[in-house]
Structure 1
Amino acid sequence: MKSDSDREKVDWHVIPWLALLYLLNFLDRGNVGNAKLYGLEADLGITDTQYLVALTVFFFPYALLEPATNVLLRRLKPSYFLSFMIVSWGIVMTLHGVMHDYGGLVTCRVLLGLFESGMYPGIVFYISSWYKRSELGSRVALFFTSATVAGAFSGLLATAIQNMHGIGGKPGWAWIFILEGLFTVIIGVFSLWVIQDFPETAKFLSDEERVFIVRRLQDDMKVSASGEKFNSKYIWQSLTDWKTWAASNDGPLFAFSLFTPTIINQLGYTATVANLLSVPVYVWACLVTVFIGFLGDRISHRAYINLCLFGTGLIGYIILIASRNAALSYFAVYLAASAWVAGNVEGAYKRSVTLGMAIGFGNLNGAVTSNVYRANDKPWYPLGHGIVLAYIAIGFICSALFLVGLKRENAAKERGERDEIIDGVVNELAHEKNGTYTTVEQARIDKGDAWSGFKYTY
């Protein structure tokens, strides 16, 4: 930005509303865990196994459609696409409050997964289209903080709303879905006017500001900032990029969000107290998220921070497995709550697909982790904690491999092993396999982050 005021202008127009949208996204996705504590299973006449199946079916449309929705987000206006999805899942959330049986629950969860599928990867991609790589961590942290706020807020909100039990002949858990769903619909309608599109078309920017933002992003090796025509090869570039597959390890998030109230409840606390005790867990996670986001941007070594956080998560779940003390297990949930692809993928469509694939595959793991906290394992849930521990260990290994891979690629580029042939000029290391181009600009646009001049950050 030309000045701090310019930076703040973009921040205020982009981040706060996205944070609100993701808060609702996370709240509506996970409030079934709060509703369960107020008689959801008994009123619907379902077993614990059926409840777990209903949680599972959410993840299949949610995960599998994320890459496609991210491409649509780029091709269509984010204001239209995101608003449509928000209103749609808000309607589905409201319908949760009028379901009467197992079939209704499963149908609602499938539809919720369908309409929520594009939100998280879409917002991360959208933010990456506005900011330099050195600014992404803090902005994504501020946006993602809304998920931890939602975790805390859901417990407080559920506790308050369930007092409406009996009004209109509906149980308290039904009102949790109805009120939260209606609020989401209202916010979705407002989003049509509030959400700004990409920098090259944003209405709140003057022509001078728009040109300046696009150019500073291009200087940060984001050639796609000025707009990019769709080409199916960008999808293939993403699917054949090892970074896409190495980054898919966020499965534990959903087990944590869906079952935190239940874990605390089964340690001996009542439903209301369990929901309230989940609040400080998420407040802690909120503080850690913001701190880590700003620290990552400041020191520019996100890989090592990531490894430390996965290590903290490992410690937390080891305690949960070993502990037979309620207070110690509650402390371990704090550690588990403490548990960098967008900046290392260039090309708007490739970045959209890569984020959708990486996040989507991780979300598909949620179909596994949503089934591992079985009622017959309470109150200590050794199987659930053990499987989540395994996922965290895999995440630690993938992060280490990601770091090593980026270092190796940067070193190869430094040695000239990735040099392209430009305008017939061949240096001793340039090779036809790296591509032949008329200009450097053509090479940058065609190859994205594989271009010899693109340097990965870690």
Structure 2
Amino acid sequence: MASKDHSFEERQVDPAARHSLQGSGIDEKAAAMHTENAHEAAARGHVATDKYGHPIVVFDPKAEARLRMKIDLYIVPTVALLYLFCFIDRANIGNAKLAGFEKELGLTGYDYNIVLSVFYVSYILFELPGNVACKYFGPGWFIPAVSLGFGICSLGTAFVHNMSAACGVRFLLGIFEAPMLPGIAYYLSRWYRRSELAFRLSLYIVMAPLAGAFGGLLASAILNLDSFGSLHTWRMIFAIEGIITCGLSVVAFFTLTDRPATARWLTQEEKDLAIARVKSERVGTTEVLDKLDVPKILRGIISPLTLSTAFIFLLDNITVQGLAFFLPTIVRTIYPKNSVVSQQLHTVPPYVVGAFFTVMFPFLSWRFDRRNIFFIMSTPLMMVGYIMFLASTNAQVRYGATFLIAAGAFSYGALCNAQVSANVVSDTARSAAIGTNVMLGNVGGLISTWSFLPFDGPNYHIGNGLNLATSSTILVCSILLQLWMYADNKRREKKDVDAELDGLSMKQVQDLDWRHPAFRWKP
């Protein structure tokens, strides 16, 4: 069943408990301009903002900082490790390709591209339903469960002997991995403010480029083994990495906390503060974790900002996923005479640089409470990289281009999910918006499996030209989106909030979500 936060939504107000507001970091004195009833309503289960969207409760920044650090230490490492192996289990097929995967299974022509595509069919189909299921069952249980599922699928890939079996296990892998990226993003939105979310998302999404780096190192180390049981060469990669994933998933069942209200490592005052500060940014909201509601699901899906951001994420994912699947192949065309282990190791440095920018841009986003501007700043790095690929056949120039592309591309995962999360109100709409963003974004992953085709090698003019076109389109769309948000916010300022809300029930007001007249887009 959908989780409900009893510490706020259902607990009766006890006058003797008022003293806990000060200790929890809720600054009662600073909120004295509001009525006592309004203050207690925000703290104990009613609205957290007035009808104009202004927070009723003011918080102590030092108490917030202490709480935020505690949440960072307890929540982020677990989901980051799970996502690291989620991406490794998806992208290790690129490392396996170098180690004989194609040859042993008898793949020819476009067979490898087909195997990659099958993963994305299920991955896209189960993205949105998976994130709704994550809300329904609760992320504290659901995320470890699907992690165990894709760990088993990775292990199973070690035992395939033909293309049909490879396609079947990749299809199952897509089902289990589909809820991970949006599910963790939704999960973290239960804990962090709008401005804080992008940076925290980056702390687990950075595992995507690190998975490329660590995956290359791990694959190189595994390939130095003579065997793993009865398994050899590329089969060892899938088996060992799958077993590690399964082990981490079992641990996560016991360590992942579902929501602030159930966190044993928080005091009651810290729980109250954690819930109140998230709630204070949601105009017209009476509960942090609302029940599944169709109007709110639709608000999350059809929001113009969700759809436009998802389109940007789609275009970016053509580059990100293409880099994951084909960087080893690209490196082999640059350094054809090097050993397989050397080629694997050459895939590591571009991912390390990409990881740095994946964290840096969202960190700046947190400090400035802006996301769209970093879409605009990241894109030229990708554009220059693909121009270098198209303009030169020099090995050093082309290898240098991979660094620029990784630097520009990987931060979008955190920024796009934080952007759609910041621009809806309810928990249900947030779940749907993030699911939609990742679902459409991974259509780009499906396209990427056909962006570097065998006949286009070794210079891959079609693939590089496609990625130059997509990065250029991202730049144009990001600028247009920035201008649209500014213009629509100006239009909303002219609305009569009282007149538009007059006669509406509380449920009708909550179902408005981003259509609420006091709501403003957050660029």
TM-score (norm 1): 0.92
Determine the structure 2 residue equivalent to 1:272. 341
CA contact (8 A) 2:88 2:211 kept: yes
CA distance in 2, matches of 1:139, 1:446: 28
Which amino acid counterpart does residue 293 of structure 1 have in structure 2?
A: P
Which amino acid counterpart does residue 36 of structure 1 have in structure 2?
A: K
Q: 1:225 to 1:369 in 2, by over 3 A?
A: farther
Aligned partner (choices 447, 450, 454) of residue 512 of structure 2: 447
Aligned partner (choices 148, 152, 168) of residue 107 of structure 1: 168
Determine the structure 2 residue equivalent to 1:156. 217
Higher mean displacement: 270-279 or 97-106: 270-279
Deviation of the 1:117 alpha carbon: 0.5
Higher mean displacement: 3-12 or 146-155: 3-12
Determine the structure 1 residue equivalent to 2:295. 233
Deviation of the 1:326 alpha carbon: 0.7
Deviation of the 1:408 alpha carbon: 2.1
1:125-146 deviation line (CA, Å, top 9, x unaligned): 1112211111112111112111
Q: 1:435 to 1:143 in 2, by over 3 A?
A: farther
Determine the structure 2 residue equivalent to 1:242. 304
CA distance in 1, matches of 2:483, 2:453: 38
**Is the partner of 2:206 in helix, strand or coil?**
helix
Deviation of the 1:300 alpha carbon: 2.5
1:334-359 deviation line (CA, Å, top 9, x unaligned): 01012222211221111111111111
Unpaired runs of 5+ in structure 1? none
CA contact (8 A) 2:155 2:243 kept: yes
CA distance in 1, matches of 2:282, 2:104: 56
Deviation of the 1:35 alpha carbon: 0.6
**Is the partner of 1:185 in helix, strand or coil?**
helix
Determine the structure 1 residue equivalent to 2:365. 296
Give matches, 1:15-414, under 5 Å: 15-221=76-282, 223=285, 226-248=288-310, 249=314, 250-251=316-317, 252-269=319-336, 270=338, 271-339=340-408, 340-414=419-493
CA distance in 2, matches of 1:353, 1:167: 42
Which amino acid counterpart does residue 229 of structure 1 have in structure 2?
A: K
Which amino acid counterpart does residue 450 of structure 2 have in structure 1?
A: N
Deviation of the 1:376 alpha carbon: 2.2
Deviation of the 1:444 alpha carbon: 5.3
CA distance in 2, matches of 1:438, 1:87: 44
Q: 1:224 to 1:159 in 2, by over 3 A?
A: farther
1:377-409 deviation line (CA, Å, top 9, x unaligned): 222111111122222223223322322222122
> What is the number of equivalent residue pairs in this alignment?
444
CA contact (8 A) 1:129 1:225 kept: no
Higher mean displacement: 213-222 or 121-130: 213-222
**Is the partner of 1:317 in helix, strand or coil?**
helix
CA distance in 2, matches of 1:156, 1:7: 33
CA distance in 2, matches of 1:135, 1:287: 18
CA distance in 1, matches of 2:240, 2:502: 56
Higher mean displacement: 16-25 or 225-234: 225-234
Higher mean displacement: 75-84 or 148-157: 75-84
CA distance in 2, matches of 1:224, 1:386: 50
Which amino acid counterpart does residue 390 of structure 2 have in structure 1?
A: I
Which amino acid counterpart does residue 312 of structure 1 have in structure 2?
A: L
TM-score (norm 2): 0.81
Q: 1:199 to 1:101 in 2, by over 3 A?
A: same
Which amino acid counterpart does residue 27 of structure 1 have in structure 2?
A: I
CA distance in 2, matches of 1:450, 1:35: 49
Unpaired runs of 5+ in structure 2? 1-60, 409-418
CA distance in 2, matches of 1:359, 1:237: 16
**Is the partner of 2:262 in helix, strand or coil?**
coil
